[in-house]
Protein backbone atom coordinates (compact mmCIF):
# COMPACT_ATOMS: atom_id res chain seq x y z
CA UNK A 1 0.00 0.00 0.00
CA UNK A 2 1.16 3.52 -0.77
CA UNK A 3 1.37 6.19 1.93
CA UNK A 4 1.75 9.90 1.21
CA UNK A 5 3.29 11.75 4.17
CA UNK A 6 2.96 15.53 4.41
CA UNK A 7 6.05 17.07 6.01
CA UNK A 8 9.68 15.96 6.32
CA UNK A 9 10.07 17.06 9.91
CA UNK A 10 11.01 14.65 12.69
CA UNK A 11 7.56 13.00 12.79
CA UNK A 12 7.35 12.61 9.02
CA UNK A 13 10.83 11.12 8.68
CA UNK A 14 10.35 8.76 11.64
CA UNK A 15 6.91 7.66 10.49
CA UNK A 16 8.29 7.09 7.00
CA UNK A 17 11.03 4.78 8.29
CA UNK A 18 8.63 2.85 10.53
CA UNK A 19 6.18 2.35 7.67
CA UNK A 20 8.91 1.24 5.29
CA UNK A 21 10.00 -1.33 7.88
CA UNK A 22 6.44 -2.65 7.86
CA UNK A 23 6.31 -3.04 4.09
CA UNK A 24 4.50 0.12 2.99
CA UNK A 25 5.50 2.19 -0.05
CA UNK A 26 6.19 5.70 1.28
CA UNK A 27 6.71 9.14 -0.26
CA UNK A 28 7.15 12.37 1.70
CA UNK A 29 6.17 15.82 0.42
CA UNK A 30 8.01 18.78 1.96
CA UNK A 31 7.67 22.52 1.22
CA UNK A 32 11.26 23.31 2.30
CA UNK A 33 14.46 22.31 0.51
CA UNK A 34 15.92 20.42 3.48
CA UNK A 35 14.66 17.90 6.06
CA UNK A 36 13.87 18.59 9.69
CA UNK A 37 11.03 21.12 9.80
CA UNK A 38 11.52 23.02 13.07
CA UNK A 39 14.48 20.77 13.87
CA UNK A 40 16.93 22.70 11.71
CA UNK A 41 20.08 24.84 11.42
CA UNK A 42 20.94 27.68 9.08
CA UNK A 43 24.18 29.34 8.04
CA UNK A 44 25.13 32.98 8.19
CA UNK A 45 28.66 33.89 7.25
CA UNK A 46 31.12 31.67 9.12
CA UNK A 47 28.56 30.75 11.76
CA UNK A 48 25.93 27.99 11.95
CA UNK A 49 22.81 28.85 13.95
CA UNK A 50 21.15 26.02 15.81
CA UNK A 51 17.42 26.49 15.44
CA UNK A 52 15.97 23.91 17.79
CA UNK A 53 17.52 20.98 19.64
CA UNK A 54 19.25 21.58 22.96
CA UNK A 55 19.19 17.90 23.93
CA UNK A 56 17.86 14.62 22.54
CA UNK A 57 15.92 12.35 24.87
CA UNK A 58 17.33 8.88 24.31
CA UNK A 59 20.81 9.79 23.12
CA UNK A 60 22.02 6.64 24.90
CA UNK A 61 20.69 3.70 26.89
CA UNK A 62 18.76 4.76 29.96
CA UNK A 63 15.62 5.99 28.22
CA UNK A 64 12.95 4.26 26.17
CA UNK A 65 13.47 6.96 23.55
CA UNK A 66 16.82 5.30 22.85
CA UNK A 67 14.90 2.14 21.95
CA UNK A 68 12.67 4.12 19.60
CA UNK A 69 15.56 5.85 17.86
CA UNK A 70 17.46 2.57 17.57
CA UNK A 71 14.56 1.02 15.66
CA UNK A 72 15.05 3.48 12.80
CA UNK A 73 18.55 5.07 13.04
CA UNK A 74 22.02 4.31 14.35
CA UNK A 75 22.08 7.08 16.94
CA UNK A 76 25.61 6.08 17.93
CA UNK A 77 26.78 7.78 14.73
CA UNK A 78 26.14 11.12 16.41
CA UNK A 79 28.49 12.73 18.91
CA UNK A 80 26.72 14.02 22.00
CA UNK A 81 27.75 16.55 24.62
CA UNK A 82 26.40 16.14 28.15
CA UNK A 83 26.06 19.24 30.30
CA UNK A 84 26.86 19.29 34.01
CA UNK A 85 24.09 21.86 34.44
CA UNK A 86 20.72 22.06 32.73
CA UNK A 87 20.58 25.81 33.30
CA UNK A 88 21.62 28.67 35.54
CA UNK A 89 19.13 31.23 36.81
CA UNK A 90 19.99 34.63 38.25
CA UNK A 91 17.46 35.64 40.87
CA UNK A 92 16.36 39.24 41.37
CA UNK A 93 15.31 39.56 45.01
CA UNK A 94 17.26 37.06 47.06
CA UNK A 95 20.84 35.85 47.36
CA UNK A 96 22.02 32.43 48.43
CA UNK A 97 24.27 31.67 51.41
CA UNK A 98 27.33 32.38 49.26
CA UNK A 99 26.11 35.94 48.70
CA UNK A 100 25.29 35.59 45.02
CA UNK A 101 22.12 35.37 42.93
CA UNK A 102 23.01 32.28 40.87
CA UNK A 103 20.91 29.12 41.09
CA UNK A 104 22.25 26.03 39.33
CA UNK A 105 20.06 23.18 38.15
CA UNK A 106 22.54 20.29 37.97
CA UNK A 107 21.91 17.31 35.72
CA UNK A 108 23.45 14.84 38.21
CA UNK A 109 20.76 14.02 40.77
CA UNK A 110 23.12 13.36 43.67
CA UNK A 111 24.95 16.60 43.01
CA UNK A 112 21.69 18.51 42.68
CA UNK A 113 20.39 17.13 45.97
CA UNK A 114 23.63 17.92 47.81
CA UNK A 115 23.61 21.43 46.34
CA UNK A 116 20.02 22.10 47.42
CA UNK A 117 20.60 20.72 50.92
CA UNK A 118 23.73 22.81 51.26
CA UNK A 119 21.82 25.95 50.32
CA UNK A 120 18.80 25.21 52.49
CA UNK A 121 19.17 22.44 55.10
CA UNK A 122 15.97 23.77 56.66
CA UNK A 123 14.12 22.63 53.50
CA UNK A 124 15.26 19.01 53.67
CA UNK A 125 11.70 17.67 53.54
CA UNK A 126 10.72 19.73 50.48
CA UNK A 127 13.98 18.92 48.70
CA UNK A 128 13.38 15.20 49.24
CA UNK A 129 9.83 15.69 47.97
CA UNK A 130 11.29 17.10 44.73
CA UNK A 131 14.21 14.66 44.34
CA UNK A 132 12.68 11.35 45.40
CA UNK A 133 10.35 10.88 42.40
CA UNK A 134 13.22 11.64 40.02
CA UNK A 135 15.10 8.61 41.37
CA UNK A 136 11.93 6.51 41.35
CA UNK A 137 11.29 7.40 37.70
CA UNK A 138 14.65 5.88 36.77
CA UNK A 139 13.21 2.43 37.45
CA UNK A 140 11.01 2.75 34.39
CA UNK A 141 11.32 3.24 30.67
CA UNK A 142 9.61 6.58 30.07
CA UNK A 143 7.45 6.60 28.11
CA UNK A 144 6.81 2.85 28.30
CA UNK A 145 7.52 1.11 24.99
CA UNK A 146 5.07 -1.75 25.07
CA UNK A 147 6.24 -3.71 22.08
CA UNK A 148 8.03 -3.78 18.79
CA UNK A 149 6.18 -3.43 15.53
CA UNK A 150 3.66 -4.86 14.84
CA UNK A 151 1.29 -4.81 17.85
CA UNK A 152 1.40 -7.46 20.55
CA UNK A 153 -1.98 -8.55 21.81
CA UNK A 154 -3.78 -6.42 24.37
CA UNK A 155 -3.22 -9.21 26.94
CA UNK A 156 0.55 -9.01 26.73
CA UNK A 157 0.46 -5.21 26.72
CA UNK A 158 -1.51 -5.42 29.98
CA UNK A 159 1.04 -7.77 31.54
CA UNK A 160 3.88 -5.43 30.63
CA UNK A 161 2.00 -2.49 32.18
CA UNK A 162 1.77 -4.07 35.64
CA UNK A 163 5.26 -2.95 36.62
CA UNK A 164 4.22 0.65 35.93
CA UNK A 165 1.73 0.72 38.80
CA UNK A 166 4.38 2.34 41.01
CA UNK A 167 4.90 5.05 38.39
CA UNK A 168 1.13 5.56 38.26
CA UNK A 169 1.23 6.23 42.00
CA UNK A 170 4.02 8.82 41.48
CA UNK A 171 2.08 10.39 38.64
CA UNK A 172 -1.11 10.70 40.67
CA UNK A 173 0.79 12.12 43.64
CA UNK A 174 2.53 14.83 41.64
CA UNK A 175 0.01 15.53 38.90
CA UNK A 176 -1.20 18.69 40.65
CA UNK A 177 2.22 19.86 41.79
CA UNK A 178 3.69 22.74 39.81
CA UNK A 179 6.90 24.71 40.11
CA UNK A 180 4.90 27.48 41.80
CA UNK A 181 3.13 25.25 44.32
CA UNK A 182 6.46 23.58 45.08
CA UNK A 183 8.12 26.98 45.52
CA UNK A 184 5.60 27.89 48.22
CA UNK A 185 6.78 24.92 50.29
CA UNK A 186 10.35 26.22 50.59
CA UNK A 187 11.29 28.19 53.67
CA UNK A 188 14.50 29.44 52.09
CA UNK A 189 13.69 32.64 50.11
CA UNK A 190 16.44 32.01 47.54
CA UNK A 191 15.16 28.53 46.66
CA UNK A 192 11.58 29.80 46.69
CA UNK A 193 12.41 32.45 44.11
CA UNK A 194 14.57 30.07 42.04
CA UNK A 195 11.79 27.51 41.67
CA UNK A 196 9.32 30.25 40.78
CA UNK A 197 11.66 31.17 37.93
CA UNK A 198 12.24 27.62 36.65
CA UNK A 199 9.88 28.32 33.76
CA UNK A 200 10.55 32.05 33.72
CA UNK A 201 7.66 32.79 36.03
CA UNK A 202 5.10 30.61 34.24
CA UNK A 203 3.41 27.71 36.00
CA UNK A 204 3.95 24.17 34.71
CA UNK A 205 3.65 20.74 36.23
CA UNK A 206 6.80 19.82 38.16
CA UNK A 207 7.13 16.55 36.18
CA UNK A 208 8.07 18.68 33.16
CA UNK A 209 11.39 19.05 35.01
CA UNK A 210 11.53 15.77 36.92
CA UNK A 211 11.26 13.43 33.93
CA UNK A 212 14.08 15.09 31.92
CA UNK A 213 16.26 15.27 35.05
CA UNK A 214 15.85 11.52 35.55
CA UNK A 215 17.13 11.03 32.00
CA UNK A 216 19.88 13.68 32.16
CA UNK A 217 21.27 11.89 35.21
CA UNK A 218 21.61 8.67 33.18
CA UNK A 219 23.51 10.47 30.40
CA UNK A 220 20.70 9.75 27.96
CA UNK A 221 19.77 13.32 26.98
CA UNK A 222 22.78 14.78 25.22
CA UNK A 223 23.13 17.65 22.76
CA UNK A 224 24.11 16.50 19.23
CA UNK A 225 27.34 18.18 18.18
CA UNK A 226 26.61 20.06 14.97
CA UNK A 227 23.11 21.01 16.09
CA UNK A 228 19.61 20.14 14.97
CA UNK A 229 20.33 19.66 11.27
CA UNK A 230 22.87 16.92 11.91
CA UNK A 231 20.16 14.98 13.71
CA UNK A 232 17.56 15.60 10.99
CA UNK A 233 20.02 14.59 8.28
CA UNK A 234 20.54 11.23 9.98
CA UNK A 235 16.77 10.66 10.03
CA UNK A 236 16.58 11.56 6.34
CA UNK A 237 19.47 9.22 5.48
CA UNK A 238 17.78 6.32 7.25
CA UNK A 239 14.50 6.93 5.42
CA UNK A 240 16.13 7.16 1.98
CA UNK A 241 18.31 4.09 2.54
CA UNK A 242 15.17 2.07 3.29
CA UNK A 243 13.80 3.00 -0.14
CA UNK A 244 11.66 6.00 0.71
CA UNK A 245 11.31 9.03 -1.54
CA UNK A 246 11.18 12.72 -0.60
CA UNK A 247 9.79 15.50 -2.79
CA UNK A 248 11.42 18.74 -1.62
CA UNK A 249 10.16 22.22 -2.56
CA UNK A 250 6.75 20.60 -3.01
CA UNK A 251 4.18 22.26 -0.76
CA UNK A 252 0.90 20.37 -0.43
CA UNK A 253 -2.18 22.43 -1.35
CA UNK A 254 -4.98 20.00 -0.60
CA UNK A 255 -5.82 16.50 0.57
CA UNK A 256 -7.96 14.72 -2.03
CA UNK A 257 -11.08 13.24 -0.46
CA UNK A 258 -13.66 11.08 -2.23
CA UNK A 259 -16.57 9.30 -0.52
CA UNK A 260 -15.19 10.29 2.90
CA UNK A 261 -11.88 8.61 2.13
CA UNK A 262 -8.47 10.27 1.71
CA UNK A 263 -6.93 8.96 -1.48
CA UNK A 264 -4.17 11.39 -2.37
CA UNK A 265 -2.83 14.93 -2.29
CA UNK A 266 -2.64 17.90 -4.60
CA UNK A 267 0.65 19.79 -4.68
CA UNK A 268 1.69 22.96 -6.49
CA UNK A 269 1.01 23.29 -10.20
CA UNK A 270 -2.18 21.26 -9.57
CA UNK A 271 -0.20 18.02 -9.64
CA UNK A 272 -2.05 15.05 -8.11
CA UNK A 273 -0.38 12.19 -6.24
CA UNK A 274 -2.69 9.29 -5.43
CA UNK A 275 -2.20 7.22 -2.29
CA UNK A 276 -3.99 4.55 -0.28
CA UNK A 277 -3.27 6.39 2.96
CA UNK A 278 -2.50 10.04 3.73
CA UNK A 279 -0.52 10.83 6.88
CA UNK A 280 -0.21 14.48 7.83
CA UNK A 281 2.90 15.24 9.90
CA UNK A 282 2.64 19.00 9.55
CA UNK A 283 0.85 21.73 11.49
CA UNK A 284 -2.43 20.77 13.18
CA UNK A 285 -4.42 23.83 12.12
CA UNK A 286 -2.97 23.84 8.59
CA UNK A 287 -3.91 20.18 8.17
CA UNK A 288 -7.51 20.49 9.34
CA UNK A 289 -8.50 23.93 8.13
CA UNK A 290 -6.41 24.36 4.98
CA UNK A 291 -5.56 20.96 3.54
CA UNK A 292 -8.97 19.53 4.54
CA UNK A 293 -10.74 22.90 4.15
CA UNK A 294 -12.37 22.61 7.60
CA UNK A 295 -14.76 19.94 6.34
CA UNK A 296 -13.98 17.33 9.00
CA UNK A 297 -14.34 19.06 12.33
CA UNK A 298 -16.35 18.60 15.48
CA UNK A 299 -17.12 20.65 18.58
CA UNK A 300 -13.83 19.68 20.24
CA UNK A 301 -11.74 20.63 17.19
CA UNK A 302 -13.51 23.99 16.88
CA UNK A 303 -12.90 24.67 20.58
CA UNK A 304 -9.25 23.77 20.12
CA UNK A 305 -8.97 26.13 17.15
CA UNK A 306 -10.43 28.88 19.33
CA UNK A 307 -7.86 27.98 22.05
CA UNK A 308 -10.63 27.03 24.48
CA UNK A 309 -9.05 23.67 25.41
CA UNK A 310 -5.32 24.37 25.55
CA UNK A 311 -3.21 27.46 24.90
CA UNK A 312 -0.91 27.57 21.92
CA UNK A 313 2.76 26.99 22.66
CA UNK A 314 4.63 30.26 22.37
CA UNK A 315 6.75 31.29 19.43
CA UNK A 316 10.11 32.98 19.83
CA UNK A 317 12.14 35.93 18.70
CA UNK A 318 15.66 34.56 18.38
CA UNK A 319 18.67 36.85 17.95
CA UNK A 320 21.98 35.14 17.22
CA UNK A 321 25.35 36.83 17.63
CA UNK A 322 28.62 35.60 16.20
CA UNK A 323 31.24 36.92 18.60
CA UNK A 324 35.01 36.94 18.16
CA UNK A 325 35.55 36.05 21.80
CA UNK A 326 35.47 32.94 23.96
CA UNK A 327 32.76 32.55 26.60
CA UNK A 328 33.72 29.17 28.04
CA UNK A 329 33.25 30.40 31.61
CA UNK A 330 29.64 31.46 30.94
CA UNK A 331 26.90 28.89 31.57
CA UNK A 332 25.63 27.24 28.39
CA UNK A 333 22.00 28.16 29.28
CA UNK A 334 21.58 31.25 31.40
CA UNK A 335 18.58 33.37 32.45
CA UNK A 336 19.02 36.73 34.15
CA UNK A 337 17.19 40.01 34.84
CA UNK A 338 17.99 43.07 32.73
CA UNK A 339 18.44 46.67 33.84
CA UNK A 340 15.94 48.24 31.42
CA UNK A 341 12.85 46.31 30.29
CA UNK A 342 12.66 45.62 26.56
CA UNK A 343 9.44 46.60 24.82
CA UNK A 344 8.89 44.38 21.83
CA UNK A 345 7.11 45.89 18.81
CA UNK A 346 4.40 43.26 19.34
CA UNK A 347 3.64 44.77 22.76
CA UNK A 348 5.35 42.13 24.94
CA UNK A 349 7.53 43.49 27.74
CA UNK A 350 10.64 41.53 28.72
CA UNK A 351 12.42 41.97 32.02
CA UNK A 352 14.67 38.92 31.74
CA UNK A 353 17.10 37.50 29.17
CA UNK A 354 17.65 33.91 28.10
CA UNK A 355 21.02 33.11 26.51
CA UNK A 356 22.28 29.94 24.91
CA UNK A 357 26.07 29.93 24.85
CA UNK A 358 27.34 27.41 22.28
CA UNK A 359 30.98 27.43 23.36
CA UNK A 360 30.75 23.65 23.82
CA UNK A 361 29.98 23.11 20.10
CA UNK A 362 33.03 24.28 18.17
CA UNK A 363 31.44 23.29 14.84
CA UNK A 364 29.06 26.27 14.98
CA UNK A 365 31.69 29.03 15.05
CA UNK A 366 35.29 29.59 13.88
CA UNK A 367 38.05 28.68 16.30
CA UNK A 368 38.24 31.02 19.30
CA UNK A 369 34.82 32.51 18.54
CA UNK A 370 31.36 31.87 19.95
CA UNK A 371 27.76 31.64 18.87
CA UNK A 372 25.49 33.33 21.43
CA UNK A 373 21.72 33.12 20.98
CA UNK A 374 19.23 35.30 22.86
CA UNK A 375 15.62 34.18 22.69
CA UNK A 376 12.32 35.62 23.90
CA UNK A 377 9.00 33.84 23.99
CA UNK A 378 5.97 35.62 22.58
CA UNK A 379 2.28 34.85 22.22
CA UNK A 380 1.99 37.54 19.54
CA UNK A 381 3.30 35.52 16.62
CA UNK A 382 0.43 36.68 14.43
CA UNK A 383 1.69 40.28 14.70
CA UNK A 384 5.04 39.37 13.11
CA UNK A 385 3.51 37.12 10.48
CA UNK A 386 0.97 39.73 9.38
CA UNK A 387 3.58 42.50 9.31
CA UNK A 388 5.94 40.50 7.14
CA UNK A 389 3.08 39.71 4.77
CA UNK A 390 1.41 43.12 4.61
CA UNK A 391 4.01 45.70 5.66
CA UNK A 392 7.53 44.51 4.93
CA UNK A 393 9.05 47.92 5.72
CA UNK A 394 7.51 47.95 9.20
CA UNK A 395 8.60 44.35 9.71
CA UNK A 396 12.23 45.23 9.01
CA UNK A 397 12.00 48.25 11.32
CA UNK A 398 10.52 46.09 14.08
CA UNK A 399 13.38 43.61 13.81
CA UNK A 400 15.93 46.44 14.01
CA UNK A 401 14.07 47.97 16.96
CA UNK A 402 14.26 44.88 19.16
CA UNK A 403 17.80 44.09 17.99
CA UNK A 404 19.14 47.44 19.17
CA UNK A 405 17.47 47.06 22.56
CA UNK A 406 18.92 43.58 22.97
CA UNK A 407 22.43 44.66 21.95
CA UNK A 408 22.41 47.44 24.53
CA UNK A 409 21.29 45.22 27.42
CA UNK A 410 23.50 42.30 26.41
CA UNK A 411 26.53 44.56 26.25
CA UNK A 412 25.89 45.66 29.83
CA UNK A 413 26.13 42.03 30.91
CA UNK A 414 28.84 40.65 28.65
CA UNK A 415 30.59 43.65 27.03
CA UNK A 416 30.38 42.18 23.54
CA UNK A 417 29.51 44.98 21.09
CA UNK A 418 33.05 45.48 19.79
CA UNK A 419 33.39 41.71 19.23
CA UNK A 420 30.16 41.13 17.25
CA UNK A 421 30.83 39.80 13.73
CA UNK A 422 27.46 38.32 12.78
CA UNK A 423 23.84 39.10 13.66
CA UNK A 424 20.78 37.10 12.69
CA UNK A 425 17.22 37.91 13.77
CA UNK A 426 14.54 35.22 13.45
CA UNK A 427 10.92 35.98 14.34
CA UNK A 428 7.68 34.00 14.49
CA UNK A 429 7.28 34.92 10.81
CA UNK A 430 10.54 33.08 10.08
CA UNK A 431 9.28 29.86 11.68
CA UNK A 432 5.89 30.19 10.02
CA UNK A 433 7.43 30.82 6.60
CA UNK A 434 9.43 27.60 6.66
CA UNK A 435 7.01 25.30 8.48
CA UNK A 436 3.47 26.78 8.47
CA UNK A 437 3.43 26.11 12.23
CA UNK A 438 0.44 27.98 13.65
CA UNK A 439 1.46 31.56 14.57
CA UNK A 440 5.09 30.43 14.40
CA UNK A 441 4.69 28.22 17.49
CA UNK A 442 7.87 26.25 18.22
CA UNK A 443 6.06 23.21 19.62
CA UNK A 444 2.30 22.74 19.50
CA UNK A 445 0.01 22.85 22.51
CA UNK A 446 1.33 24.44 25.70
CA UNK A 447 1.34 22.00 28.64
CA UNK A 448 -0.70 23.16 31.57
CA UNK A 449 -0.38 22.29 35.23
CA UNK A 450 -2.65 19.27 34.72
CA UNK A 451 -0.87 16.45 32.83
CA UNK A 452 -4.22 14.65 32.43
CA UNK A 453 -5.56 17.49 30.29
CA UNK A 454 -7.46 16.04 27.33
CA UNK A 455 -5.81 16.33 23.93
CA UNK A 456 -7.62 18.39 21.29
CA UNK A 457 -7.38 15.57 18.72
CA UNK A 458 -6.05 12.08 18.16
CA UNK A 459 -4.40 10.27 15.29
CA UNK A 460 -7.60 9.97 13.25
CA UNK A 461 -10.50 12.26 12.38
CA UNK A 462 -14.12 11.16 12.68
CA UNK A 463 -15.80 10.73 9.32
CA UNK A 464 -12.60 10.48 7.25
CA UNK A 465 -11.10 7.10 6.38
CA UNK A 466 -7.46 6.40 5.51
CA UNK A 467 -6.32 9.72 6.97
CA UNK A 468 -4.00 10.00 9.97
CA UNK A 469 -2.15 12.74 11.84
CA UNK A 470 1.09 12.52 13.84
CA UNK A 471 3.33 15.32 15.05
CA UNK A 472 4.29 17.29 18.14
CA UNK A 473 0.63 18.36 18.27
CA UNK A 474 -0.41 14.92 19.52
CA UNK A 475 0.68 15.65 23.09
CA UNK A 476 0.79 18.96 24.99
CA UNK A 477 4.38 20.11 25.31
CA UNK A 478 5.34 18.66 21.96
CA UNK A 479 8.95 18.62 20.89
CA UNK A 480 11.12 15.89 19.44
CA UNK A 481 10.13 13.25 22.07
CA UNK A 482 6.45 13.59 21.14
CA UNK A 483 7.36 13.68 17.44
CA UNK A 484 9.02 10.25 17.48
CA UNK A 485 6.59 8.61 19.91
CA UNK A 486 3.55 9.82 17.96
CA UNK A 487 5.15 8.65 14.70
CA UNK A 488 5.70 5.20 16.19
CA UNK A 489 2.18 4.95 17.59
CA UNK A 490 0.44 6.09 14.40
CA UNK A 491 2.43 3.57 12.38
CA UNK A 492 1.35 0.81 14.75
CA UNK A 493 -2.23 1.96 14.21
CA UNK A 494 -1.86 2.07 10.42
CA UNK A 495 -0.22 -1.37 10.37
CA UNK A 496 -2.99 -2.85 12.48
CA UNK A 497 -5.84 -1.19 10.58
CA UNK A 498 -4.49 -2.20 7.20
CA UNK A 499 -3.34 -5.69 8.24
CA UNK A 500 0.42 -5.34 7.73
Q: List average pLDDT for each run of 10 residues in the chain, which is 500 residues long.
A: 97 97 97 96 96 93 90 96 96 94 97 98 96 89 53 46 70 86 96 93 86 94 97 98 97 96 94 97 96 94 91 94 94 94 96 95 96 96 97 97 96 95 97 95 82 75 95 90 94 89
Q: Is-contact 272 264, C-beta < 8 A?
A: yes
* CA-CA-CA-CA torsion sign (23, 24, 25, 27): negative
CA distances from 374 to 356, 371, 384, 406 (A): 6, 10, 18, 8
Cα-based angle 314, 320, 323 (whole degrees, multiple of 5): 155
The answer to whether the CB of 230 falls within 8 A of the CB of 224 is: yes
Burial string for 132-151 (b: 16+ CB within 10 Å, else e) reads ebbeebbeebbbebbeebee
Q: Record the pTM.
A: 0.92
Instruction: Give the pLDDT confidence score for residue 146 in this predicted structure.
Output: 47
Say how many CA atoms lie within 13 Å of 158 toward its Cβ.
3
The residues near 33 (Cβ < 8 Å, ≥ 6 apart) are 248, 249
Task: HSE, CB side, 13 Å, CA atoms: give it for residue 13.
Answer: 26
pLDDT at 78: 96
Amino acid sequence: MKVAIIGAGVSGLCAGSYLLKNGFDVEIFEKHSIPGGLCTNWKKGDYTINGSLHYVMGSDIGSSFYKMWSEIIDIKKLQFHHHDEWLEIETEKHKNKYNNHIFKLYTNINKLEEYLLDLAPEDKKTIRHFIQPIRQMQKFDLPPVMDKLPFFSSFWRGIKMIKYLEFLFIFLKYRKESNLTLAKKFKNPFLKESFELLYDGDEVNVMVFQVPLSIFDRKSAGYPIGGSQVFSNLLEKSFLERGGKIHYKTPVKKIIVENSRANGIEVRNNEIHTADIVLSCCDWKFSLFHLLEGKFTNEKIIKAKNLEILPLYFSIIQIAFGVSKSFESLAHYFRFPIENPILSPDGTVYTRFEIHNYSYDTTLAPKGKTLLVVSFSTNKGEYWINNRKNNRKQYREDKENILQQVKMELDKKLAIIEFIEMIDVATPATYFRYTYNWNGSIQGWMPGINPLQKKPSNYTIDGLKNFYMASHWNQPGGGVPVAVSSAREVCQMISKNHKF
